[in-house]
Amino acid sequence: MNYKFSKIKLNKDGLFGPTKENHFYKPVNYHNKTAATNHHKTTWVLKQNEQFEVFRVSDESKWFCKNRNGLFSILDNGEVIMGANEERISFFPNPVNNSDPYHGYPVNSGEYEPSTELVEMWLKDKIIDYRIHIKILKGQI
């Protein structure tokens, strides 16, 4: 993994941020790698500040998916493993209230499909290459 994560720390409210979009991120315990095993929840292998970086990139890049009503993220052409099951994509559902912080979790494209429009944008903007583009669309990442 060559991605350089920032060394940002939680603020006094237990949040990371704000991003340039003025959004905050709150890591939730049940998605962190130290959480008890819950077969219905995916867990991060990333540290909390690294989770924020994944969120920040998606938020500031406006990688919004209308189909899922949230932000998707991928780093370094999918080389960054984000989840305990080797997930390389993450999802950040839009909070119910605009003032609430985001939270997120690692996903695979077979269960959480980013919209074709978003995957095409990643390809066009050289976030991913054609091979990863096809794998995401086939639900293989």
Average pLDDT for the chain: 93
Task: Kindly state the tokens that stand for 19.
Answer: 């991003």
Does residue 31 surpass a pLDDT of 80? no
pLDDT band for position 35 (50/70/90)?
low
Amino acid at 2: N
pTM here is 0.92
Give me the residue label for tokens 């984000």: 82
The tens digit of pLDDT for each residue in 49-82 reads 999 999 999 999 999 999 999 999 999 999 999 9
Which band of pLDDT confidence, cut at 50, 70 and 90, is reported for residue 45? very high
